[in-house]
Amino acid sequence: MILVLLGPPGAGKGTQCKRIIDKYKLRHLSSGDILRSERAAGTELGKKAQQYMDSGALVPDELIIEMMVAAIADAGWNCVLDGFPRTTVQAARLDDALKSQGKKIDAVIDLQVDDKIVATRITGRRSCPKCGAVYHIETLKPKRQGWCDNCIDTKLVQRDDDKPEVVANRLGAYHKQTAAVVGYYKSVKATVFDVRADGAVDDVTRAVFNKLASLAA
């Protein structure tokens, strides 16, 4: 099964993906997480991506597509995509790559949240640099303030691109380049589920699972 989770920065894509992979036994492939690992490892790709990520711009399509198609193949074509595709070019190239393998996207979930809400979510986000667990200072607190629940001795950090001025650029890039991806999927008659994602985490999960249940029916 291949699922795509779309939505603005801070919509809760990563948070919901963690729950989807547990239930559906899929690999979670976050393009942002993969790029951050490449940066941490100091690879050529990571170095090229750095300036774009730091400013809140999208990394060029040609750097992303090959990286993500390889990751999807490595996951045995059984995954939930978080943050990819983010342009209509990426979406079309992904479709081509899947078609060449006799595969297709089973469903696209579009998490819809207003800009004001996502800005609050992003600025309050804290994550574990070791296991990647994501928390929020108000809505998803760790048991011990500032420390990861899973990696007990690891201090939570704020992502560099979660500063307000960079967040504004990321939202701009979303509206200019990524919002059209939903229209692309509707135009090629993919299964697209629109989900309001401004409620509590559990409510959004329930709505997502309800939609996904209709796939199996």
9 or 21, CB closer to ligand AP5? 9
Given the residues 36, 86, 93, 126, select the one marked as catalytic: 86
CA distance 134 to 36: 15
Binding residues for ligand AP5, rule CB under 6 A, total 38
Toward ligand AP5, which CB reaches closer, 56 or 212?
56
Q: How far is the CB of 57 from ligand AP5 (least distance, A)?
A: 6
- Residue 79: which H helix or E strand, with range? strand 79-82
Which residues in the 99-158 window bind ligand AP5 by CB under 6 A? 121-122, 124-125, 134-136, 139-140
* Amino acid in position 162: D
Catalytic residue among 141, 159, 163, 186: 159
Both structure tokens of 129: 């640099």
* Nearest approach, Cβ of residue 139 and ligand AP5 (Å): 4
Q: Is residue 10 a contact point for ligand AP5 (CB under 6 A)?
A: yes
Active-site annotation holds for 36:
no
Distance, in Å, from the CA atom of 182 to the CA atom of 126, rounded to the nearest integer, reads 28
Is there a catalytic annotation at residue 125? yes
Residue 176 CB, nearest approach to ligand AP5 (Å)? 12
Q: Is 10 left (phi over 0), alpha (psi -120 to 50) or beta?
A: left
Handedness of CA 66, 50, 169, 5 (dihedral sign): positive
- Geometric angle at alpha carbon 143, from 210 and 19, rounded to 5°: 20
Q: How many residues does the chain have?
A: 217
Catalytic residue list contains 86 = yes
Residue whose CB is less far from ligand AP5, 32 or 192 = 32
- 19: annotated active-site residue: no
97 by DSSP, 3-state: which? helix
* Dist. CA 59–CA 62, nearest whole Å: 9
Contact residues for ligand AP5, defined by CB under 6 A: 7, 9-15, 30-32, 35, 52-53, 56-59, 64, 83-84, 86, 90, 121-122, 124-125, 134-136, 139-140, 161, 170, 197, 200-201, 204
Which residues are the active-site residues?
A: 13, 86, 125, 159, 170
